[in-house]
Every structure is written in structure tokens, then in C-alpha cells.
């Protein structure tokens, strides 16, 4: 059974975007290769232990996020759409429930715009997370910038 990307409205989405100084292939690799993704995924102060990472449609991504507060947060996701190097989408099976769509847009040969969308079934569910997730997504992108610089050095 194939999971489709849910249809949403702007009120039931949280969107973060940024232009990164990296070619689109490098940016895509930072998201699609676990040896890079584990280095930067999550807000400031978080680290990850990946238990499963099958980067294919229907493949599972299971990991534990370790918070700066010493908390451990289990995550389970399934990749639902992959179009290399322009799109990655997954569905979360751990709470809070939502889908993620990440789009990669070639700006120049050395710059990529990444649009990260969190898609919720309802506006109410989205609004529960919106107050703090927006800043945390920016922290995530800050860590991605560091990883991309290391990948290109």
C-alpha cells in the first residue's frame, strides 16, 4: 500500500525555507545519507542514534533523538516519496503525527533552496506545535549549514 502526501492548507502547514551554499546534489546527500543526517538532524543540543535507515519508498527510518535535557525521544518514520535530487517525503508513526515534504531547488550551481514542510491533518494539530517548532526548525537548518560546510571542505 502506498501512502500519499496529504492535501493541506497553509493553516495546517509549518514551512521553513533557506538558501544554502551547496550544490543540490550535496544538499540532497545531507538528507539522504545517514552518515550525514545523524550529524545535524534535530534542534540545537540534540543528537541521534539511528537504528534503521532504509532510504527507499516504503523504507523505514527509526531513530532515537537524545535531548540536551537527557531525555530520549523515539521516532519512527516511513519514506513515502523520493525524487532525487529534488524531493523527499516521509510519514511519522510516532507522535506528534504529521508528514514532512522537503523540496530542493537549484538556485545556482553552488546554491540550493530547501523548503521543509510539516503537513498536519488538521489546523488544530498544527497550531499545537507551531509556537515552538518554527524556531526549532531554524536551529535544525543552522546545524545543516555546518554539516554542508564540512561536506564541501
Count: domains in the chain: 1
The pLDDT of residue 2 is above 80: no
The pTM is what?
Answer: 0.94
The model's pLDDT over 45-87, given as tens digits with 9 standing for 90+, comes to 999 999 999 999 999 999 999 999 889 999 999 999 999 999 9
**Tens digit of each residue's pLDDT (9 = 90 or more) over 97-109:** 999 999 999 999 9
Q: Is residue 135 part of a domain?
A: yes
Within a domain: 93: yes
Where b means 16+ CB within 10 Å and e means fewer, 20-44 reads bebbbebbbbbbbebebbbbbbbbe
> The domain containing residue 108 runs over which residues?
11-42+81-152
Judge whether 16 lies within some domain: yes
Q: Which residues contact 148 (CB under 8 A, 6 or more apart)?
A: 20, 21, 22, 26, 27, 30
Q: Is residue 5 included in any domain, yes or no?
A: no
**CATH value at residue 31:** 3.30.530.20
Amino acid at each position: 500500500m502506498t501512502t500519499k502526501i496529504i492535501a493541506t492548507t497553509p493553516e495546517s502547514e509549518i514551512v521553513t525555507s533557506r538558501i544554502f551554499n551547496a550544490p543540490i546534489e550535496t544538499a540532497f546527500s545531507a538528507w539522504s545519507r545517514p552518515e550525514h543526517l545523524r550529524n545535524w538532524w534535530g534542534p540545537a543540543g540534540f543528537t541521534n542514534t539511528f537504528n534503521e535507515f532504509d532510504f527507499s519508498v516504503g523504507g523505514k527510518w527509526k531513530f532515537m533523538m537524545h535531548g540536551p535535557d537527557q531525555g530520549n525521544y523515539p521516532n519512527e518514520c516511513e519514506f513515502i516519496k523520493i525524487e532525487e535530487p529534488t524531493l523527499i517525503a516521509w510519514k511519522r508513526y510516532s507522535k506528534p503525527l504529521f508528514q514532512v515534504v522537503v523540496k530542493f531547488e537549484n538556485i545556482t550551481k553552488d546554491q540550493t533552496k530547501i523548503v521543509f514542510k510539516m503537513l498536519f491533518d488538521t489546523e488544530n494539530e498544527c497550531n499545537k506545535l507551531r509556537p515552538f517548532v518554527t524556531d526549532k526548525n531554524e536551529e535544525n537548518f543552522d546545524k545543516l549549514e555546518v554539516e554542508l560546510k564540512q561536506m564541501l571542505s
